[in-house]
Amino acid sequence: MRPSGGTIALVREGDPITIDAHRQLLQLDVDDSEIARRRAEWRQPEPRYKRGVLGKFAALSRPANEGTGTGWMPQDGTFKGAPMRRPGPRSSERRSAARASNRQSAAPCSRR
């Protein structure tokens, strides 16, 4: 698998890097043969978070070169074997529906 982030995935501690703001240059100063060797050895790391909100984000989010969207929830409503709650109405919609229901069922109040 090719590093999705490009050469930045191949940078190691102590590598010389050239940064030139005037020329808008950020360059890894390592031999091409060494970069090719690192690229051949590179493996996708396991996700740090596999459960919870960050696990869902890691599983559903896309890389920047694909638009970074989180995609769609699977049709069966599952996430790695765990059920996911389907989104319901927004809280403002629930509140307005509750108010309308209360208005219809509430008996008129008399003030004394």
Q: pLDDT, tens digit, for every residue of 20-73?
A: 999 999 899 999 999 999 999 988 888 888 888 888 888 777 766 666 666 555
Quote the pTM value: 0.47
Locate 82 and state its tokens: 């765990």
Q: What is the pLDDT of residues 67-91, one digit of tens each?
A: 666 655 555 555 554 555 555 666 6
Q: Calculate Rg over the CA atoms of the chain.
A: 26
Handedness of CA 18, 44, 46, 64 (dihedral sign): positive
User: Residue 19's pLDDT band (boundaries 50, 70, 90)?
Assistant: very high
What pLDDT does residue 7 have? 85
How far apart, in whole angstroms, are the C-alpha atoms of residue 81 and residue 59? 13
Largest Cα separation within the chain, whole Å, is 91
